[in-house]
Structure 1
Amino acid sequence: MNYMSDNYVEETRFGLWFLRSRTWQHYVLRVAINDLRSLFSEALPENPVLLDAGCGQGKSFSLLRDAFAPGRLIGIDADPQSLNQSREEAVRQGMNVELLGSDCARLDLADASVDLVFCHQTFHHLVEQESALAEFYRVLKPGGYLLFAESTEAYIDTWVIRWLFRHPMQVQKSAAQYLDMIRRQGFAFSAQNVSYPYLWWSRAKDFGLLERLGLSKPKPFGEREETLVNVVARKPVEGVQ
Protein backbone atom coordinates (compact mmCIF):
# COMPACT_ATOMS: atom_id res chain seq x y z
CA MET A 1 0.00 0.00 0.00
CA ASN A 2 1.38 3.40 -1.01
CA TYR A 3 0.45 5.59 1.93
CA MET A 4 0.61 9.34 1.49
CA SER A 5 2.83 9.81 4.53
CA ASP A 6 6.36 8.58 5.15
CA ASN A 7 5.49 8.10 8.83
CA TYR A 8 2.16 6.31 8.44
CA VAL A 9 1.53 3.58 11.04
CA GLU A 10 -0.60 0.90 9.42
CA GLU A 11 -3.73 -0.02 11.37
CA THR A 12 -4.60 -3.61 12.30
CA ARG A 13 -7.39 -5.52 10.56
CA PHE A 14 -9.37 -5.32 13.78
CA GLY A 15 -8.84 -1.57 13.91
CA LEU A 16 -10.11 -1.09 10.35
CA TRP A 17 -13.14 -3.25 11.11
CA PHE A 18 -13.85 -1.34 14.33
CA LEU A 19 -13.85 1.98 12.46
CA ARG A 20 -16.79 0.65 10.39
CA SER A 21 -18.73 -0.61 13.39
CA ARG A 22 -21.88 0.81 14.95
CA THR A 23 -20.01 1.06 18.27
CA TRP A 24 -17.53 3.48 16.68
CA GLN A 25 -20.22 5.54 14.97
CA HIS A 26 -22.74 5.67 17.83
CA TYR A 27 -20.66 5.62 21.01
CA VAL A 28 -17.48 7.35 19.84
CA LEU A 29 -18.00 9.64 16.82
CA ARG A 30 -21.54 10.80 17.57
CA VAL A 31 -20.80 11.47 21.23
CA ALA A 32 -17.60 13.40 20.45
CA ILE A 33 -19.22 15.59 17.79
CA ASN A 34 -22.15 16.44 20.06
CA ASP A 35 -19.75 17.28 22.88
CA LEU A 36 -17.56 19.47 20.67
CA ARG A 37 -20.61 21.35 19.44
CA SER A 38 -21.54 22.11 23.05
CA LEU A 39 -18.11 23.60 23.80
CA PHE A 40 -18.47 26.65 21.55
CA SER A 41 -18.53 29.98 23.38
CA GLU A 42 -19.82 31.86 20.34
CA ALA A 43 -22.39 31.13 17.66
CA LEU A 44 -21.39 28.51 15.14
CA PRO A 45 -20.07 29.78 11.79
CA GLU A 46 -22.71 29.72 9.06
CA ASN A 47 -22.10 27.49 6.03
CA PRO A 48 -18.52 26.85 7.14
CA VAL A 49 -15.73 25.28 5.16
CA LEU A 50 -15.06 22.21 7.30
CA LEU A 51 -11.93 20.07 7.08
CA ASP A 52 -12.16 16.52 8.44
CA ALA A 53 -8.51 15.80 9.23
CA GLY A 54 -8.06 12.03 9.11
CA CYS A 55 -11.53 11.25 7.77
CA GLY A 56 -10.86 7.50 7.66
CA GLN A 57 -13.80 5.66 6.14
CA GLY A 58 -16.10 8.68 6.09
CA LYS A 59 -18.38 7.65 8.94
CA SER A 60 -18.19 11.20 10.33
CA PHE A 61 -19.58 12.90 7.22
CA SER A 62 -23.31 12.72 7.94
CA LEU A 63 -22.77 13.55 11.62
CA LEU A 64 -20.71 16.63 10.73
CA ARG A 65 -23.38 17.69 8.23
CA ASP A 66 -26.10 17.45 10.86
CA ALA A 67 -24.07 19.22 13.58
CA PHE A 68 -22.38 22.03 11.60
CA ALA A 69 -24.21 22.35 8.24
CA PRO A 70 -20.99 22.93 6.27
CA GLY A 71 -21.19 24.73 2.98
CA ARG A 72 -18.10 22.81 1.90
CA LEU A 73 -16.78 19.61 3.42
CA ILE A 74 -13.22 18.42 2.80
CA GLY A 75 -11.90 15.06 3.95
CA ILE A 76 -8.22 14.16 4.07
CA ASP A 77 -6.51 10.90 4.83
CA ALA A 78 -3.13 9.32 4.10
CA ASP A 79 -4.57 5.87 3.41
CA PRO A 80 -5.79 5.40 -0.21
CA GLN A 81 -8.05 2.50 0.77
CA SER A 82 -9.76 4.59 3.45
CA LEU A 83 -10.24 7.40 0.93
CA ASN A 84 -11.99 4.98 -1.43
CA GLN A 85 -14.28 3.91 1.39
CA SER A 86 -14.91 7.57 2.26
CA ARG A 87 -15.88 8.21 -1.33
CA GLU A 88 -18.37 5.33 -1.21
CA GLU A 89 -19.76 6.59 2.10
CA ALA A 90 -20.29 10.08 0.68
CA VAL A 91 -22.23 8.59 -2.22
CA ARG A 92 -24.37 6.53 0.17
CA GLN A 93 -25.15 9.66 2.17
CA GLY A 94 -25.86 11.73 -0.94
CA MET A 95 -23.15 14.19 0.07
CA ASN A 96 -20.65 16.20 -1.91
CA VAL A 97 -17.32 15.71 -0.11
CA GLU A 98 -13.97 16.81 -1.51
CA LEU A 99 -11.43 14.09 -0.73
CA LEU A 100 -7.68 14.66 -0.66
CA GLY A 101 -4.89 12.16 -0.17
CA SER A 102 -2.65 14.00 2.25
CA ASP A 103 -0.43 13.87 5.28
CA CYS A 104 -1.80 16.15 8.01
CA ALA A 105 1.68 17.61 8.38
CA ARG A 106 1.63 18.83 4.75
CA LEU A 107 -1.85 20.00 3.73
CA ASP A 108 -2.47 20.95 0.11
CA LEU A 109 -4.82 23.76 1.10
CA ALA A 110 -4.46 27.52 0.92
CA ASP A 111 -3.71 29.69 3.93
CA ALA A 112 -6.79 30.92 5.82
CA SER A 113 -9.19 28.84 3.69
CA VAL A 114 -11.02 26.79 6.35
CA ASP A 115 -13.50 27.74 9.09
CA LEU A 116 -13.47 24.51 11.10
CA VAL A 117 -10.87 21.76 11.43
CA PHE A 118 -12.31 18.56 12.87
CA CYS A 119 -9.56 16.34 14.27
CA HIS A 120 -11.13 13.38 16.04
CA GLN A 121 -9.03 10.45 17.25
CA THR A 122 -6.48 11.27 14.56
CA PHE A 123 -3.73 13.06 16.43
CA HIS A 124 -2.47 10.05 18.38
CA HIS A 125 -1.80 8.36 15.01
CA LEU A 126 0.43 11.22 13.81
CA VAL A 127 4.20 11.19 14.23
CA GLU A 128 4.74 14.82 13.16
CA GLN A 129 2.27 16.30 15.61
CA GLU A 130 3.81 19.77 15.88
CA SER A 131 3.88 20.12 12.11
CA ALA A 132 0.28 18.93 11.78
CA LEU A 133 -0.91 21.42 14.38
CA ALA A 134 0.96 24.21 12.59
CA GLU A 135 -0.77 23.20 9.36
CA PHE A 136 -4.19 23.28 11.03
CA TYR A 137 -3.40 26.77 12.29
CA ARG A 138 -2.19 27.88 8.84
CA VAL A 139 -5.25 26.75 6.89
CA LEU A 140 -7.75 28.13 9.42
CA LYS A 141 -9.15 31.58 8.85
CA PRO A 142 -8.63 34.13 11.64
CA GLY A 143 -11.44 33.38 14.05
CA GLY A 144 -11.69 29.80 12.81
CA TYR A 145 -11.86 26.82 15.13
CA LEU A 146 -9.96 23.62 15.80
CA LEU A 147 -12.30 20.88 17.04
CA PHE A 148 -9.87 18.53 18.76
CA ALA A 149 -10.95 15.24 20.37
CA GLU A 150 -8.28 12.79 21.50
CA SER A 151 -7.47 9.74 23.54
CA THR A 152 -4.51 10.26 25.84
CA GLU A 153 -1.45 8.19 26.63
CA ALA A 154 -3.20 6.79 29.72
CA TYR A 155 -5.61 5.02 27.36
CA ILE A 156 -3.43 4.32 24.33
CA ASP A 157 -0.64 2.78 26.43
CA THR A 158 -2.75 -0.05 27.89
CA TRP A 159 -2.26 -3.71 27.04
CA VAL A 160 -5.64 -4.17 25.37
CA ILE A 161 -5.30 -1.11 23.09
CA ARG A 162 -1.70 -1.98 22.21
CA TRP A 163 -2.82 -5.52 21.39
CA LEU A 164 -5.80 -4.57 19.21
CA PHE A 165 -4.52 -1.42 17.49
CA ARG A 166 -1.30 0.15 16.19
CA HIS A 167 -0.01 3.57 17.24
CA PRO A 168 3.31 5.47 17.31
CA MET A 169 3.86 5.13 21.05
CA GLN A 170 6.71 7.66 21.20
CA VAL A 171 4.36 10.61 20.56
CA GLN A 172 1.51 9.83 22.96
CA LYS A 173 0.62 12.60 25.42
CA SER A 174 -1.46 13.39 28.47
CA ALA A 175 -4.52 15.65 28.30
CA ALA A 176 -2.51 18.51 29.81
CA GLN A 177 0.29 18.04 27.27
CA TYR A 178 -2.14 18.14 24.34
CA LEU A 179 -3.76 21.31 25.65
CA ASP A 180 -0.35 22.91 26.21
CA MET A 181 0.69 22.04 22.65
CA ILE A 182 -2.46 23.65 21.25
CA ARG A 183 -1.89 26.81 23.30
CA ARG A 184 1.76 27.03 22.27
CA GLN A 185 0.72 26.91 18.63
CA GLY A 186 -1.27 30.11 19.23
CA PHE A 187 -4.82 28.83 19.65
CA ALA A 188 -7.02 30.41 22.32
CA PHE A 189 -9.48 28.62 24.59
CA SER A 190 -10.72 28.71 28.16
CA ALA A 191 -11.90 26.09 30.63
CA GLN A 192 -15.46 26.27 29.27
CA ASN A 193 -14.14 25.16 25.86
CA VAL A 194 -12.61 21.95 27.27
CA SER A 195 -14.16 18.70 28.45
CA TYR A 196 -12.80 15.43 29.78
CA PRO A 197 -15.35 12.76 28.84
CA TYR A 198 -15.32 9.71 31.08
CA LEU A 199 -17.05 7.18 28.85
CA TRP A 200 -17.37 3.45 29.41
CA TRP A 201 -15.18 2.54 26.44
CA SER A 202 -12.45 4.93 27.59
CA ARG A 203 -11.89 3.28 30.98
CA ALA A 204 -8.22 2.43 30.75
CA LYS A 205 -8.26 -1.04 32.31
CA ASP A 206 -11.65 -2.72 32.00
CA PHE A 207 -13.96 -0.55 29.81
CA GLY A 208 -16.03 0.16 32.91
CA LEU A 209 -16.98 -3.50 33.41
CA LEU A 210 -16.35 -3.52 37.16
CA GLU A 211 -18.39 -0.35 37.55
CA ARG A 212 -21.31 -1.83 35.62
CA LEU A 213 -21.15 -4.90 37.84
CA GLY A 214 -21.15 -2.70 40.94
CA LEU A 215 -17.72 -3.90 42.00
CA SER A 216 -16.05 -0.49 41.85
CA LYS A 217 -16.93 3.20 41.76
CA PRO A 218 -15.74 5.69 39.13
CA LYS A 219 -13.02 8.04 40.28
CA PRO A 220 -14.17 11.67 40.31
CA PHE A 221 -12.62 14.36 38.17
CA GLY A 222 -9.28 15.44 39.61
CA GLU A 223 -8.57 12.03 41.10
CA ARG A 224 -8.18 10.09 37.87
CA GLU A 225 -5.76 10.24 34.95
CA GLU A 226 -7.86 11.50 32.06
CA THR A 227 -8.16 9.20 29.06
CA LEU A 228 -10.05 11.62 26.79
CA VAL A 229 -9.81 15.33 26.14
CA ASN A 230 -12.01 17.47 23.87
CA VAL A 231 -11.37 21.14 23.13
CA VAL A 232 -12.74 23.80 20.81
CA ALA A 233 -9.80 26.16 20.25
CA ARG A 234 -9.94 29.36 18.21
CA LYS A 235 -7.36 30.93 15.95
CA PRO A 236 -7.33 34.53 17.17
CA VAL A 237 -8.46 37.34 14.92
CA GLU A 238 -5.51 39.68 14.35
CA GLY A 239 -5.23 42.08 17.25
CA VAL A 240 -7.86 40.22 19.28
CA GLN A 241 -7.03 37.50 21.82
Structure 2
Amino acid sequence: MNRASTTYVEETPFGFWFLQSHVWRHHVLRVAIDDLKRLIDAPLPSAPVLLDAGCGQGKSFGLLAAVFQPAHLIGLDADPHSLACSRAEAERLGLDVQLIASDCAAIQLADASVDLLFCHQTFHHLVEQEQALAEFWRVLKPGGLLLFAESTKFYIDTWVIRWLFRHPMQVQKSAAEYLAMLRAQGFEFSEHNVAYPYLWWSRAKDFGLLERWGLRQPKPFGQRDETLVNVAARKPLEPVAR
Protein backbone atom coordinates (compact mmCIF):
# COMPACT_ATOMS: atom_id res chain seq x y z
CA MET A 1 0.00 0.00 0.00
CA ASN A 2 1.47 3.35 -1.09
CA ARG A 3 1.78 5.85 1.74
CA ALA A 4 2.42 9.58 1.58
CA SER A 5 5.45 9.33 3.87
CA THR A 6 8.56 7.25 3.31
CA THR A 7 9.22 7.24 7.08
CA TYR A 8 5.74 6.00 8.02
CA VAL A 9 5.76 3.37 10.79
CA GLU A 10 2.88 0.97 10.18
CA GLU A 11 0.51 0.49 13.11
CA THR A 12 -0.30 -2.95 14.52
CA PRO A 13 -3.71 -4.55 13.83
CA PHE A 14 -4.57 -3.95 17.50
CA GLY A 15 -3.58 -0.29 17.21
CA PHE A 16 -5.70 0.20 14.10
CA TRP A 17 -8.67 -1.43 15.85
CA PHE A 18 -8.15 0.65 18.99
CA LEU A 19 -8.35 3.90 17.00
CA GLN A 20 -11.93 2.93 16.06
CA SER A 21 -12.99 2.14 19.61
CA HIS A 22 -15.29 3.90 22.04
CA VAL A 23 -12.40 4.18 24.48
CA TRP A 24 -10.35 6.13 21.92
CA ARG A 25 -13.17 8.50 20.98
CA HIS A 26 -14.67 9.05 24.44
CA HIS A 27 -11.76 8.72 26.87
CA VAL A 28 -8.93 10.02 24.68
CA LEU A 29 -10.12 12.30 21.86
CA ARG A 30 -13.08 13.93 23.61
CA VAL A 31 -11.13 14.59 26.80
CA ALA A 32 -8.19 16.09 24.87
CA ILE A 33 -10.36 18.39 22.76
CA ASP A 34 -12.23 19.66 25.83
CA ASP A 35 -8.93 20.28 27.63
CA LEU A 36 -7.36 22.06 24.67
CA LYS A 37 -10.35 24.38 24.36
CA ARG A 38 -10.01 25.20 28.06
CA LEU A 39 -6.36 26.15 27.54
CA ILE A 40 -7.16 28.76 24.87
CA ASP A 41 -7.04 32.21 26.47
CA ALA A 42 -8.32 34.35 23.57
CA PRO A 43 -11.51 34.44 21.50
CA LEU A 44 -11.68 31.73 18.87
CA PRO A 45 -11.85 32.77 15.21
CA SER A 46 -15.32 32.74 13.73
CA ALA A 47 -15.89 29.99 11.14
CA PRO A 48 -12.22 28.92 11.08
CA VAL A 49 -10.32 26.77 8.64
CA LEU A 50 -9.35 23.79 10.81
CA LEU A 51 -6.69 21.23 9.91
CA ASP A 52 -6.54 17.87 11.69
CA ALA A 53 -2.91 16.85 11.12
CA GLY A 54 -2.81 13.08 11.46
CA CYS A 55 -6.57 12.58 11.39
CA GLY A 56 -6.34 8.79 11.41
CA GLN A 57 -9.79 7.28 10.93
CA GLY A 58 -11.65 10.57 11.33
CA LYS A 59 -13.06 9.94 14.79
CA SER A 60 -12.20 13.54 15.70
CA PHE A 61 -14.31 15.10 12.95
CA GLY A 62 -17.64 15.22 14.76
CA LEU A 63 -16.07 16.46 17.99
CA LEU A 64 -14.06 19.18 16.24
CA ALA A 65 -17.06 20.32 14.23
CA ALA A 66 -19.22 20.61 17.37
CA VAL A 67 -16.62 22.43 19.48
CA PHE A 68 -15.01 24.79 16.93
CA GLN A 69 -17.70 25.05 14.21
CA PRO A 70 -15.24 25.34 11.33
CA ALA A 71 -16.24 26.74 7.97
CA HIS A 72 -13.79 24.32 6.39
CA LEU A 73 -12.49 21.11 7.96
CA ILE A 74 -9.40 19.40 6.54
CA GLY A 75 -8.13 15.95 7.48
CA LEU A 76 -4.56 14.95 6.67
CA ASP A 77 -2.96 11.54 7.00
CA ALA A 78 -0.17 9.56 5.35
CA ASP A 79 -1.99 6.21 5.43
CA PRO A 80 -4.52 5.60 2.60
CA HIS A 81 -6.39 2.96 4.63
CA SER A 82 -6.93 5.46 7.44
CA LEU A 83 -8.07 8.10 4.95
CA ALA A 84 -10.62 5.67 3.50
CA CYS A 85 -11.99 5.23 7.03
CA SER A 86 -11.98 9.01 7.49
CA ARG A 87 -13.98 9.45 4.31
CA ALA A 88 -16.57 6.93 5.51
CA GLU A 89 -16.74 8.65 8.91
CA ALA A 90 -17.29 12.08 7.33
CA GLU A 91 -20.06 10.66 5.14
CA ARG A 92 -21.67 8.98 8.15
CA LEU A 93 -21.70 12.29 10.02
CA GLY A 94 -22.84 14.30 7.01
CA LEU A 95 -19.73 16.50 7.20
CA ASP A 96 -17.93 18.05 4.25
CA VAL A 97 -14.28 17.26 5.00
CA GLN A 98 -11.37 17.85 2.62
CA LEU A 99 -9.06 14.85 2.89
CA ILE A 100 -5.37 15.07 1.97
CA ALA A 101 -2.94 12.17 1.60
CA SER A 102 0.15 13.92 2.86
CA ASP A 103 3.17 13.73 5.10
CA CYS A 104 3.05 16.20 8.00
CA ALA A 105 6.59 17.19 7.00
CA ALA A 106 5.36 18.31 3.54
CA ILE A 107 1.78 19.58 3.87
CA GLN A 108 0.03 20.26 0.57
CA LEU A 109 -1.61 23.50 1.64
CA ALA A 110 -0.83 27.16 0.96
CA ASP A 111 1.08 29.37 3.38
CA ALA A 112 -1.05 31.04 6.07
CA SER A 113 -4.20 29.15 5.05
CA VAL A 114 -5.23 27.59 8.41
CA ASP A 115 -6.73 29.20 11.55
CA LEU A 116 -6.63 26.18 13.86
CA LEU A 117 -4.30 23.19 13.60
CA PHE A 118 -5.24 20.17 15.69
CA CYS A 119 -2.37 17.73 16.26
CA HIS A 120 -3.56 15.00 18.60
CA GLN A 121 -1.39 11.96 19.40
CA THR A 122 0.32 12.37 16.04
CA PHE A 123 3.77 13.74 16.80
CA HIS A 124 5.11 10.61 18.46
CA HIS A 125 4.44 8.79 15.17
CA LEU A 126 6.55 11.25 13.14
CA VAL A 127 10.22 10.77 12.38
CA GLU A 128 10.75 14.22 10.83
CA GLN A 129 9.38 16.18 13.76
CA GLU A 130 11.25 19.45 13.20
CA GLN A 131 10.17 19.57 9.56
CA ALA A 132 6.56 18.83 10.55
CA LEU A 133 6.53 21.62 13.12
CA ALA A 134 7.97 24.02 10.53
CA GLU A 135 5.14 23.01 8.20
CA PHE A 136 2.57 23.63 10.95
CA TRP A 137 4.07 27.11 11.35
CA ARG A 138 3.98 27.73 7.61
CA VAL A 139 0.34 26.81 7.02
CA LEU A 140 -0.98 28.61 10.12
CA LYS A 141 -2.10 32.19 9.73
CA PRO A 142 -0.46 34.83 11.94
CA GLY A 143 -2.38 34.62 15.20
CA GLY A 144 -3.42 31.05 14.40
CA LEU A 145 -3.55 28.36 17.05
CA LEU A 146 -1.73 25.04 17.29
CA LEU A 147 -3.70 22.64 19.50
CA PHE A 148 -1.05 20.10 20.44
CA ALA A 149 -1.80 16.99 22.52
CA GLU A 150 0.90 14.39 22.88
CA SER A 151 2.08 11.33 24.77
CA THR A 152 5.65 11.50 26.02
CA LYS A 153 8.47 8.97 25.95
CA PHE A 154 7.65 7.98 29.54
CA TYR A 155 4.40 6.50 28.22
CA ILE A 156 5.45 5.36 24.75
CA ASP A 157 8.57 3.58 26.01
CA THR A 158 6.79 1.12 28.31
CA TRP A 159 6.53 -2.59 27.70
CA VAL A 160 2.75 -2.63 27.27
CA ILE A 161 2.70 0.18 24.68
CA ARG A 162 5.69 -1.22 22.81
CA TRP A 163 3.96 -4.61 22.75
CA LEU A 164 0.57 -3.35 21.52
CA PHE A 165 1.57 -0.49 19.20
CA ARG A 166 4.37 0.57 16.83
CA HIS A 167 6.27 3.87 17.07
CA PRO A 168 9.64 5.29 15.94
CA MET A 169 11.34 5.03 19.33
CA GLN A 170 14.36 7.16 18.43
CA VAL A 171 12.32 10.40 18.29
CA GLN A 172 10.28 10.12 21.50
CA LYS A 173 10.50 13.16 23.80
CA SER A 174 9.61 14.29 27.31
CA ALA A 175 6.96 16.93 27.93
CA ALA A 176 9.69 19.52 28.54
CA GLU A 177 11.39 18.60 25.28
CA TYR A 178 8.15 18.97 23.30
CA LEU A 179 7.54 22.39 24.87
CA ALA A 180 11.09 23.46 24.07
CA MET A 181 10.60 22.36 20.45
CA LEU A 182 7.43 24.43 20.13
CA ARG A 183 9.15 27.51 21.57
CA ALA A 184 12.19 27.04 19.32
CA GLN A 185 9.89 27.12 16.29
CA GLY A 186 8.49 30.44 17.51
CA PHE A 187 5.15 29.41 19.00
CA GLU A 188 4.04 31.42 22.01
CA PHE A 189 2.31 30.05 25.11
CA SER A 190 2.32 30.60 28.85
CA GLU A 191 2.04 28.24 31.78
CA HIS A 192 -1.75 28.58 31.77
CA ASN A 193 -1.83 27.38 28.14
CA VAL A 194 -0.23 24.04 29.12
CA ALA A 195 -1.70 21.04 30.93
CA TYR A 196 -0.26 17.70 32.01
CA PRO A 197 -3.27 15.35 32.18
CA TYR A 198 -2.84 12.36 34.46
CA LEU A 199 -5.51 10.12 32.98
CA TRP A 200 -6.05 6.47 33.87
CA TRP A 201 -5.03 5.16 30.46
CA SER A 202 -1.80 7.20 30.51
CA ARG A 203 -0.52 5.80 33.81
CA ALA A 204 2.65 4.10 32.69
CA LYS A 205 2.98 0.31 32.99
CA ASP A 206 -0.36 -0.58 34.66
CA PHE A 207 -2.99 1.97 33.48
CA GLY A 208 -3.34 3.08 37.11
CA LEU A 209 -4.69 -0.25 38.34
CA LEU A 210 -2.39 -0.41 41.37
CA GLU A 211 -3.43 3.11 42.38
CA ARG A 212 -7.10 2.28 41.83
CA TRP A 213 -6.78 -0.81 44.05
CA GLY A 214 -4.98 1.17 46.74
CA LEU A 215 -1.74 -0.75 46.33
CA ARG A 216 0.29 2.31 45.32
CA GLN A 217 -0.03 6.04 45.99
CA PRO A 218 0.01 8.30 42.93
CA LYS A 219 3.00 10.59 42.68
CA PRO A 220 2.01 14.29 42.83
CA PHE A 221 2.66 16.75 40.03
CA GLY A 222 6.31 17.72 39.93
CA GLN A 223 7.45 14.38 41.31
CA ARG A 224 6.49 12.15 38.39
CA ASP A 225 7.57 11.79 34.79
CA GLU A 226 4.66 13.31 32.88
CA THR A 227 3.13 10.99 30.29
CA LEU A 228 0.87 13.55 28.57
CA VAL A 229 1.19 17.20 27.58
CA ASN A 230 -1.49 19.44 26.05
CA VAL A 231 -0.66 22.91 24.70
CA ALA A 232 -2.66 25.71 23.08
CA ALA A 233 0.17 27.58 21.31
CA ARG A 234 -0.19 30.64 19.11
CA LYS A 235 1.72 31.76 16.04
CA PRO A 236 2.47 35.44 16.73
CA LEU A 237 0.84 38.18 14.68
CA GLU A 238 4.25 39.72 14.06
CA PRO A 239 7.23 37.81 12.64
CA VAL A 240 9.47 36.28 15.28
CA ALA A 241 13.08 37.47 15.25
CA ARG A 242 15.42 34.49 14.88
Query: Which range, TM-score by smaller chain?
Result: over 0.9
Secondary structure of 1:162's counterpart equals: helix
Question: Which structure 1 residue ranges, 5 or more long, are not aligned?
Answer: none
2:192 matched residue in structure 1: 192
Secondary structure of 2:187's counterpart equals: coil
1:100-156 alpha-carbon deviations (Å, 9 max, x no partner): 000000001000000010000000000000000000000000000100000000000
Mapped to 2, the partners of 1:106 and 1:239 lie a distance apart of 22
1:152 matched residue in structure 2: 152
Mapped to 2, the partners of 1:236 and 1:158 lie a distance apart of 36
Q: 1:35-54 to 2 correspondence within 5 Å?
A: 35-54=35-54
1:218 matched residue in structure 2: 218
User: Contact (CA 8 Å) 2:186, 2:240: kept in 1 or not?
Assistant: no
1:32-86 alpha-carbon deviations (Å, 9 max, x no partner): 0000000011011111100000000000000001111111000000000100000
Secondary structure of 1:118's counterpart equals: strand
Mapped to 2, the partners of 1:185 and 1:239 lie a distance apart of 12
User: Contact (CA 8 Å) 2:105, 2:132: kept in 1 or not?
Assistant: yes
Secondary structure of 1:76's counterpart equals: strand
How many angstroms does 1:216 deviate by? 1.4
With normalisation by structure 2, the TM-score equals 0.98
Mapped to 1, the partners of 2:150 and 2:67 lie a distance apart of 19
User: Contact (CA 8 Å) 2:152, 2:173: kept in 1 or not?
Assistant: yes
> Does 2:5 align with 1:2?
no
How many angstroms does 1:218 deviate by? 1.2
User: Contact (CA 8 Å) 2:32, 2:149: kept in 1 or not?
Assistant: yes
1:81 matched residue in structure 2: 81
Over the residues paired in the alignment, what is the CA RMSD in angstroms? Answer: 1.0
1:163 matched residue in structure 2: 163
1:170-215 alpha-carbon deviations (Å, 9 max, x no partner): 0000000000000000000000000000000000111000111111
Secondary structure of 2:45's counterpart equals: coil
Question: Percent of pairs identical after alignment?
Answer: 73
Mapped to 1, the partners of 2:99 and 2:162 lie a distance apart of 30
**Structure 1 residue ranges, 4+ long, deviating more than 6 angstroms after superposition:** none
Mapped to 2, the partners of 1:239 and 1:156 lie a distance apart of 35
Q: Alignment length, in residue pairs?
A: 241
With normalisation by structure 1, the TM-score equals 0.99
Mapped to 1, the partners of 2:174 and 2:13 lie a distance apart of 27
2:176 matched residue in structure 1: 176
Mapped to 1, the partners of 2:97 and 2:164 lie a distance apart of 30
**CA, structure 1 residues 54+239, in 2 after alignment: closer, same or farther (shift >3 Å)?**
closer
> Does 2:111 align with 1:107?
no
